Amino acid sequence: MYDTYIFDLDGTLLDTLDDLAAAVNYALRQHGMPEHTREDVRRFVGNGVRLLMTRAIPDGEDNPLFEATFQTFREYYMEHSLDTTRPYDGIPELLGELRARGKRVAVVSNKFYAATSELCHHFFPDTVEVAIGEHEAEGIRKKPAPDTVKEAFRQLGVDSRNAVYVGDSDVDLQTARNAGLPCISVLWGFRDRAFLEAHGATTFVTTPEEILC
């Protein structure tokens, strides 16, 4: 086993898709734009909420209503991020066992910082030691840059030796590579095995329990 586990959040620890889709479509409705299906939103997620909305809004950031629509999304999501979001089966038990074995646990997400902190505090208050979202500090870039992973190590007070990154997307694979970490790709998240393999994934788990092996 590893000593330190850095987890992605959406699609890895939490199934957030329905709440994200609801927030996207609420914002689009409020500004007279066409809505998207749940599967559309599944394809859009993974690179942070701004790019999620860039993909969801017609003409993206070139749309004159982009900023207003994005702000509506943020406000709605912060109020409704716990409506249907739940940990995937076996995740609370996995995190509890890792901590019981003395392992260090952090979350690094491209979700905005406040939502990342709120969700981790709500669902994993005793197991996730550090939760880092899209960072506003100067010089800390979002994933796939390694900056937030390095920040997680700094806050944990450890280095990257015998650490692993766990995620569900191509962005997570790139982040792990950029941080010099091995990557475990989960198969219960927002991307399937064929997609992950096409982006270089080599280590897969189908249940959280397999991460303990």
How far apart are the C-alpha atoms of 149 and 179, rounded to whole Å? Answer: 7
Question: Residues 3, 8, 15, 83: which is the catalytic one?
Answer: 8
Report the C-alpha gap between 108 and 116 in whole angstroms: 8
Beta bridge partners of 108: 132
Active site residue 8: yes
Kindly report the backbone phi and psi dihedral angles of residue 163, in degrees, each rounded to the nearest multiple of 5, phi listed first. -110, 155
Instruction: Report strand pairing: 14-15 vs 86-87.
Output: antiparallel
Instruction: Give the C-alpha separation, 139 to 143, whole Å.
Output: 13
DSSP symbol at 34: -
How far is Cα 122 from Cα 125, in angstroms, rounded to an integer? 6
What is the arrangement of strands in the sheet containing 104-112, beginning at the earlier edge strand? 130-134, 104-112, 4-7, 163-167, 183-186, 204-205
Q: Which amino acids are annotated catalytic?
A: 8
